[in-house]
Amino acid sequence: MTPPTSISPRPGLRRRGRIVLSAALAAALGITVASVTTSASAADIPLSQGKPATASSVESAAFPASNAVDGNAGTRWSSTFADPQWLQVDLGSTQTISQVVLNWEAAYASAFTIQTSANGTSWTNISPVTTGQSGVQTLNVTGSGRYVRMNGTTRATPYGYSLWEFQVFGTSTTPTIPTSDTPDFGSNVRIFEPGTAASTIQSAVDSAFNAQLRSPTAQFGGQRHVFLFKPGTYGRVWANVGFYTTIAGLGINPDDVTINGAVNVDSGWNYGDESNATQNFWRSMENLSIVPEGGTNRWAVSQAAPMRRVHIKGNLTLAPSNQDNGQGYSSGGYLADSVVDGVVSSGSQQQWYTRDSRIARWDGGVWNMVYSGVQGAPANAFPNPPHTTLATTPVTREKPYLYVDSAGLYRVFVPAIRRNSAGATWPNTAGTSIPMREFYVAKPGDTAARINQALAQGLNLFFTPGTYTLNDTIRVTRANTVVTGIGFPTLIPSGGVEALNVADVDGVKVSGLTFDAGTTNSPTLMSVGRAGVHTDHAANPISLQDVFFRIGSSVQGKATTTLAVHADDTIIDHIWAWRADHGGAPTGWAVNTGDTGLIVNGDDVLATGLFVEHYQKYEVIWNGNRGKTIFFQNEKPYDVPNQAAWIGPRGNGYAAYKVADAVTDHQLWGGGSYCYFNVNPSVRVDRAFEVPNRAGVQLRSVLTVSLGDVGTIANVVNDTGGAVPNPAGNTTPRKVVAYP
């Protein structure tokens, strides 16, 4: 949003003329009154932007304190209509303060001071009592402190105190964080070259896999393994891929790295569930080519196991090797920006989403196979056979990826936006290459303060594998910032803070991160944009890719909402928000609590590959207009204790996918919701999808399933579709081709 050149008065508030100060008085107070932002000296830097801000009060939730330090002159903080009031910012450490710039709304202070504090309790004035002015006001000051606040004692209007921006400038006493184009990625990352003996590579991947084979702790363990392959051709490597393991190439294109053998995922590995692949989570493969031994590569995975930017020079099967034995289930997966020269066989996969790829042919389909922008995909035929096919994807931006250039320096390539796209982006992927010296390479043990310092320095973030405990929110406030990770780096908030907050700015890219809720309830784990703000980001959207959330894992976590998307035009490309039905720590209805996996308040938001499961109320709430979802997979919470504990606003239980009553335009293609109320099979939910009944809200190819006939979903959409279980049989879906 363009900063306002004039500000409309509130209803009933007459706009005052500009206050005129004598030259002598202005000089004495060190005040400049201007109609445009006044820059600090070249030696000073903005210390306040994106830092934690608090206030004595807020007029409403639409005007939080954080709006005054978000770098966006179209959002503001506003207090209640009383004196006195204050707004303060925490700079993170003691800084030398030289200038404060206040961008007042029409409701300003007729008397205020600027104060600093070392502890947020004892305050020192660093300005005299000052008269405010609607517009931009610059105060040259001298002082130091960790906390800086505007302390308003008298209002100039009947309304509250209201600031578009509160900027603190000074000289940072924090040393600049060093960076490198050849960083140390840590001990969890192994990098191979074409000259590396095949036996060395095989030993490394076997060691990582065998340590977790049928292990009772591996699924929620702390182990993290990344195997990176520099450009070239590699002899026979058979890489079994377990939990928290990534296999990736370091070329600019997938064909720059060729592995002969397999990158293999099968059933029989997971302790206590060896008979199927439904818990093959948290593993990935990207940016390489495979010449599969025997002609077929196996990738039998379920959620949070993406395959991106891969060239299979043969066939690909997505089912486990025991699928013909009446077991061997697999459920849900994601493939994008890839080429399969041969046949893709989905086998026992119940649902699967493939986006912007090229295949020779697709065989199979259980409940719902979904394709958008896939060259060679089957024709749209849902429900028989169960293929939901869109010729193109409305908007895509492929995930950023790490590569090494011809000089041996590391870089991150950020693919460009595509519209109405189909087929893989490579070779010749359009986009931008960023040298690693422009990234802070985070390692386990880094604090939120250190990470925020790197962001304040203007760096992007690259998380290496491991676990990060955060006692404060990571705040991304600069447009086009890249926040990415490899090897499932896991962020755990402590004390109920939000783990990651993205400001309402253009082009931020967040990818490759896992979030575990902490033991103290967090209102949200991650938010994007600002509630109530609708800035147009259509030309350069914020994007989220391969971002996974867990409420319960090795931690008995709690979070009211997992992900809140306020920003318009956001792209949500493959997330799994999961309230755990099992974990390394005990789980249960009153233990790992979570209301909602995803709330979308932004307009024109697109979700491609949306997995949200087991939350206790509405699992997805879509409040924004013109939203689109291509592929949705859901399981209702297993552990509802009884019907009385689960009554929603419109009857029994809560729908999995709720489109708000005020929404006039929304589309979903390819959605499934399952129930398995094993704690109390008498529990029922009245509907899986709840939407306003109007022509502009359209659902295509949606279904419900009662797994093993355990529990009831009474209808698919609103009062349409009929109940599962079907009277005729076990685990037979109900399907709705189109609604309305």
Confidence (pLDDT) at 728:
73
Local structure of 118: helix, strand or coil: coil
d(CA 326, CA 731): 14
Q: Which of 37-51, 63-77, 502-516 has the lowest mean pLDDT?
A: 37-51
Listed residue (341, 352, 373, 360) closest to 307, CA to CA: 352
What's the pTM value of the predicted model, to 2 decimals? 0.83
Confidence (pLDDT) at 51:
85
Amino acid at 703: L
Residue 477's pLDDT band (boundaries 50, 70, 90)?
confident
Amino acid at 142: T
Confidence (pLDDT) at 44:
54
Q: Please check the confidence at residue 25 and state whether its pLDDT lies above 50.
A: no
Q: Which of 316-325, 342-351, 429-438, 680-689 has the lowest mean pLDDT?
A: 316-325
**Residue 16: burial class (beta carbons within 10 Å; 0-12, 13-18, 19+):** middle
Confidence (pLDDT) at 94:
86
Q: Give 406's contacts (C-beta < 8 A, 6+ positions apart).
A: none
Average pLDDT, the chain: 92
Six-digit token string for 100: 């404060």
pLDDT in tens, 254-285: 999 999 999 999 999 999 989 999 999 999 99
* Residue 636 and residue 675 in contact, taking contact as beta carbons nearer than 8 Å: yes
Q: Give 287's contacts (C-beta < 8 A, 6+ positions apart).
A: 248, 249, 250, 251, 254, 257, 308, 309, 310, 401, 403
Mean pLDDT of all residues in 107-112: 97
pLDDT in tens, 1-24: 322 222 233 332 222 222 233 333
d(CA 412, CA 480): 13
Q: Which of 156-170, 198-212, 324-338, 502-516 has the lowest mean pLDDT?
A: 324-338
Q: Give 444's contacts (C-beta < 8 A, 6+ positions apart).
A: 186, 464, 465, 466, 467, 468, 489
Confidence (pLDDT) at 598:
98
| Three-state secondary structure string covering 533-585 | CCCCCCCCCCEEEEEEEEECCCCCCCEEEEEEECCCCCEEEEEEEEECCCCCC
d(CA 208, CA 596): 35
Under DSSP, the state recorded for 299 is B
Catalytic, out of 59, 398, 619, 635: 635
Report strand pairing: 500-502 vs 522-528.
parallel
Confidence (pLDDT) at 173:
67
Inter-CA distances, 127 with 20, 32, 148, 418, 515, Å: 19, 13, 11, 51, 43
pLDDT in tens, 505-550: 999 999 999 999 999 999 999 999 999 989 999 999 999 999 999 9
Q: Please check the confidence at residue 166 and state whether its pLDDT lies above 90.
A: yes
Report strand pairing: 225-229 vs 460-463.
unpaired
* Residue 524 and residue 497 in contact, taking contact as beta carbons nearer than 8 Å: no
Under DSSP, the state recorded for 491 is E
Residue 671's pLDDT band (boundaries 50, 70, 90)?
very high
Six-digit token string for 350: 């119940």
Count CB neighbours of 27 within 10 A: 10
Amino acid at 228: L
Report strand pairing: 509-516 vs 543-551.
parallel
Helices (H), 323-412: none
Under DSSP, the state recorded for 177 is P
* Residue 410 and residue 181 in contact, taking contact as beta carbons nearer than 8 Å: yes
Local structure of 645: helix, strand or coil: helix
**Residue 14: burial class (beta carbons within 10 Å; 0-12, 13-18, 19+):** exposed
Exposed e or buried b per residue across 376-406, where buried means at least 16 C-beta atoms within 10 angstroms of its C-beta: bbbeeebbeebbbbbebbbbbbbbbbbbbee
CA dihedral (394, 399, 403, 409) in degrees, to 10, reads 110
**Residue 324: burial class (beta carbons within 10 Å; 0-12, 13-18, 19+):** exposed
Confidence (pLDDT) at 292:
98
Six-digit token string for 316: 């690909």
Inter-CA distances, 582 with 455, 514, 576, 708, Å: 36, 17, 15, 19
Q: Which of 11-25, 438-452, 564-578 has the lowest mean pLDDT?
A: 11-25
Listed residue (297, 287, 284) closest to 251, CA to CA: 287
d(CA 75, CA 505): 11
Confidence (pLDDT) at 45:
60
Mean pLDDT of all residues in 627-643: 98
Listed residue (344, 339, 345, 337) closest to 358, CA to CA: 339
| Three-state secondary structure string covering 427-476 | CCCCEEEEEHHHEEEECCCCCHHHHHHHHHCCCEEEECCCEEEECCCEEE
Question: Rg for the chain (alpha carbons), in Å?
Answer: 27
H or E segment and range at residue 111: strand 109-117
The answer to whether 293 is a known catalytic residue is no
